[in-house]
Structure 1
Amino acid sequence: MELETNSSKVGNGKGKEEEEEKEDSKRRKLGGIKTMPFILSNEICDKFAAAGFYANMITYLTQQLNLPLVKASNTLTNFGGMGSFTPLIGALIADSYAGRYWTIIGGSIIYELGMISLTVSAVLPSLRPPPCPSQVSCKEASNSQLWILYMSLILTSIGSGGIKPCVVTFAADQFDMTKSAVGSRSWNFFNWYYFCMGMATLTALTVVVYIQDNVGWGWGLGIPAIAMALSIVAFIFGSSLYNKLKPEGSPLVRLAQVVVAAAKKRKEVMPLDPGMLYQNKELDAAISVNGRLLHSDQFRWFDKAAIVTNEDEKDSKSPNLWRIATVHRIEELKCIVRMLPIWSAGILLVTASSHLHSFVIQQARSMDRHLSHSFEIPPASFSIFSILTMLIGLVIRTSIRSICSSLYGKPFRHHLPAKNGRRILY
């Protein structure tokens, strides 16, 4: 994949160029490293809340709501699947209408409402079946009690759809990637980002899970709800410092437009010279701030979307993007197609890990977990081993990168396909 650096502003007339320069000057004053304490505080509290809320949920369903293990596990995996789908909708809303900032706030508030409703149901005896310490012939939660559970999980799934796809990209928006020194700085930030997220999850899997098993579910779910509220407050406090990019249209829509345009022109003859394919710097200006992608010879069927016909020449001032696409947009789609084998390789891994917080915890519950006569490891805390290996691997990888950068005298990058292959293998 080749990149053409943008060397000049794209605009119609001097007035527009001056307006864009003013906007760029204002944008440069916003963002940067000064926003990171607020974004990291928000994410640490959010990750702590989410991990504390979901890590031990199978125990809450089986021992507090008295659901059978299979039904409880199906409930969690179903809503987990919903929580994996809603980020697609959240990303579409953020990129096309609301922007990442407001999508994060809206998603966080909805997520908080879900956590509060489940916390209330854990505190009020009328919203759950009577206690059953023997776990034999227990009364299962009624339909009305289950509806409260389902509504809580629906709200958290919808809320996560506004948070997951936007937070990391919103953090990246705070850095001007056109500056030469920003690349290594943003790399270090994302290392610290994932390290802090891992530590927040680790804390939740030890402290919050222990409270849930030994103190009570009111506090066990209330503490994550409080942490989520703090994450919203921390994020809003930094509002005046953030670089809030305007929504420029969904990448999913752009990809669909390329496919439709290529299908419409499937009978057109490709020009011998790739330079004859459609280019429009002004049209691509908002989505190519770091440079435009250059034409590649791979997946040439998609290039038909950039063939300029007589009909396209008539509408050159307002091109129909469902009929013609620029080379940059076509190359975006090609990049996605190239990544499909990597994504598909992770499907089985994610499928297996989806049971980490259900059957694995129940298996751990049957083990002797005593470290002493007075202390027993909570079953859900066994998930910390995957987090610990991630944190250790992150530290080792960062150290190796620093050493290699010093030896070679230039920034060192891991070969990503090989690195992802090792992760899946392990």
Structure 2
Amino acid sequence: MDGSLSHNDHEAHTSSDSGRRRGGWNTFPFITGALAGLTLAAGGWLSNLIVYLIQEFNVKSIDAAQISNIVAGSSSFFPVIGAIIADSFLGPFSVISISSCISLLGIVLLALTATFNSLKPQTCVNDGSELCKPTSTIQYAILYTSIALATIGLGGTRYTMATMGANQFKNPKTQASFFNWYFFILYAASVVSITVIVYVEENVSWKLGFGLCVIANILGLVIFLCGTRFYRFDKPQGSPFVDLARVVVASTWKRNLQHSSDESKDYYYGHGGVTDMVDATPSKSFGFLNRAAQKTEGDIKSDGSIAKPWRLCTVQQVEDFKTLMRILPLWSSSIFLGTPIAVHSSLTILQALTMDRHIGPHFKIPAGSILVIVLISTAISLTLIDRFLCPVWQKMTGRFLTSLQRIGLGHVLNVLSMAVSALVESKRLRAVKSYHLQDQPGAIVPMLALWLFPQLVLVGIGEAFHFPGQVSLYYQEFPVSLRSTSTAMIALIVGISFYLGTGVIDLVRKVTRWLPDNINNGKLDNVYWMLVVVGGLNFGYYLVCAKLYKYQNVKGANENPGPEGDK
């Protein structure tokens, strides 16, 4: 972050119709103000969803964790869909505005379920007993409709707002400064929502907590719309995913076409021809895809343009697709890196619900707030890595810490965090047995929830290594035409990880007795040891992929990724 906020950005330009300045730092208060409001609203309900389902809708603990994983996964998938719609059809402004209204509607419905007793079942006298009144179909329908709408709205704003903010600038350094401030505000708002709003929900009332989320969403939407006259609007340019799909369709259509060795005549390079596309010549790897760029009769119009877009692609588009295929193994290893984190996050909240969460005689940590330790740990670790570890590493080795090395360290820390989780859970289960609490659902074990902090700190440190490492790797290695797709790859990883986490928990429940609804009578430590084994195997897979991978952008791989590298 720099001092660019203290003066008007030189990129702000004058609108031809009104003489009004558009773009630049004039838009910053509106975009980040909207970001803060929408993040407060989303974090307030999403981070405490497990507790709400258990306490207010009598959902069994493991089922609540599964629902939370699905919602978290969807909130990471929907940004990709939102980005495609924004790029191809509506533009970021329309997508953000519509999504904000959808999320508002969802949170209002969720607040209504907490306000009116007719919209939720009666509280169980004894969790798991026959005294629980079942939730009606209508109550479930309203609950899940509200969650679905709030999740869709969150997905349409989270990454699209970052894209729109960056579109207000044309200077890459200014864009980098904007992103620094953007993610700082995103993290700050997340911390506030996970602590303050969640505390209100658990210690005052769910109605007031969700009401605060509604107010925050309204403020975010209003602030965003107030900046309309200052925004710079870019026309939708089309989604890069369409080009990728065209390569698959065209190569499949021409699968029986004989390969040509005449690269200058038989392959399509676009209007500029070979001279303008020196770097984009058909490579030998994944040669079957080259057919997509090989010209046949009827593919080209008289003016040199493509007659049938789904039967012919440029060589550049084919090579871009090949780049994705080369990096796919590394990307897949990150999915199995994120899956243990997804499983761990939901199960940690269940652990916290059974532990003593008091800090002092008057303050009790809300179970849904326990994960804020990961955010704080990540934020502190990012600063230490950037200001201390990377410079020390450079002095000791004479080289910069590469993206692949950062991701590898993240793998190691992830495995270590799961091992610590297993040890802590073993200690918790011993306390359960010593106090004979195995058959008492919802019983509080006389063990401080502070024991969960070390594993959460390790998860945060690991994320500080592998998530920025992945962003750097994909941004560096992806073709220029697919740079925006590189951030979507991270969203896909998170989304798939949460869905796989749901599948892992289901599988464990079917083949073992480690995860009963009463975790005091289960073997949650065995689940964590299983994740240690899975993480270790995945780390071995990653090492093989990293060893075989060849940087496409060798220069970028050796440059300093930090601020000094821009000088």
Task: Give yes or no for the alignment of 1:307 onto 2:294.
Answer: yes
Partner of 1:13: none
Cα root mean square deviation, aligned: 3.3
How far off is 1:134 after superposition?
5.1
Structure 1 residues 117 and 320, CA gap change in structure 2 (3 angstroms):
same
Whether 1:261 aligns to 2:250 is yes
Deviation at residue 225 of structure 1 after TM alignment: 1.7
Which amino acid in 2 is paired with 1:307? Q
C-alpha deviation, 1:342, in angstroms: 3.2
Partners in 2 of 1:203 and 1:349 — Cα distance? Answer: 27
Structure 2 residue aligned with 1:179: none
Matched, 1:271 2:261: yes
Alignment of 1:220-235 (within 5 A): 220-235=209-224
2: CA distance, partners of 1:293 / 1:366: 60
Partners of 2:149 and 2:237 in 1: CA distance: 27
Matches within 5 A, 1:348-387: 348-356=336-344, 358-387=346-375
Indicate conservation of the 8 Å contact 1:262/1:303, yes or no: yes
Report the counterpart of residue 36 of structure 2 in structure 1. 44
Give the AA of the match of 1:268.
Q
- In the alignment, does 2:190 pair up with 1:201? yes
Match of 2:199 in 1: 210
Pick which of 225-234 and 165-174 moved more: 165-174
Post-superposition CA distance 1:108-154 (Å, at most 9, x none): 11011000001011011221123446545332322211111011011
Matched, 1:175 2:148: no
Q: How does 1:53-202 map to 2 (within 5 A)?
A: 53-132=45-124, 135=127, 137-176=131-170, 182-202=171-191
**2:471 match:** none
TM-score for the superposition, normalised by structure 2: 0.62
The equivalences for 1:17-36 within 5 A come to 30-36=22-28
CA distance, structure 2, for counterparts of residue 341 and residue 420 of structure 1: 14
Rounded Cα–Cα distance in structure 2 between residues aligned with 1:333 and 1:83: 26
1:323-348 C-alpha deviation (Å, 9 max, x unpaired): 11113322332332233223212212
Q: State the secondary structure of the residue aligned to 2:234.
A: coil
Distance in 2 between the 1:342 and 1:70 partners? 31
Tell me the equivalent position of 1:333.
321
TM-score by length of 1: 0.81
Q: Give, as a single letter, the amino acid of the residue that structure 2 aligns with 1:65.
A: F
Structure 2: which amino acid aligns with 1:425?
A: V
The one-letter amino acid paired with 2:56 is Q
Counterpart position of 2:526: none
Question: Percent identity at matched positions?
Answer: 34
Report the secondary structure of 1:248's partner residue: coil
In structure 1, the residue matched to 2:409 is 422
Q: Which runs of 5+ in 1 are unaligned?
A: 1-21, 177-181
Structure 1 contact 104–163 (Cα < 8 Å) conserved: yes
- CA contact 2:40–2:213 (8 Å) conserved in 1: yes
Which residue of 266, 270, 274 corresponds with 1:280? 270
- 1:98 maps to a residue whose letter is L
C-alpha spacing 1:264/1:58, structure 2 compared with 1 (3 Å): same
**Aligned AA for 1:173?**
N
One-letter amino acid of the structure 1 residue matched with residue 151 of structure 2: S
Paired position in structure 2 for 1:396: 384
Deviation at 1:383, TM superposition (A): 0.2
1:187-214 deviations in whole A, cap 9, x for unaligned? 2322222222111111111111111110
C-alpha distance after superposition, 1:151-197 (max 9, x if no partner): 10111222233223422222222221xxxxx3233223222222221
**Does the aligned pair in 2 maintain the 1:306–1:324 contact within 8 Å?**
yes
Q: In the comparison of the two structures, how many residue pairs are matched?
A: 388
Structure 2 CA distance for partners of 1:422 and 1:194, relative to 1, 3 Å: farther
Structure 2: distance between partners of 1:292 and 1:222: 58
> CA 1:242–1:294 in 2, change beyond 3 Å: closer, same or farther?
farther
Q: Distance in 1 between matches of 2:173 and 2:162?
A: 16
Question: d(CA) in 1 for partners of 2:175 and 2:265?
Answer: 35
Partner deviation per Cα, 1:217-243 (whole Å, 9 max, x = no partner): 001111112111111112112222222
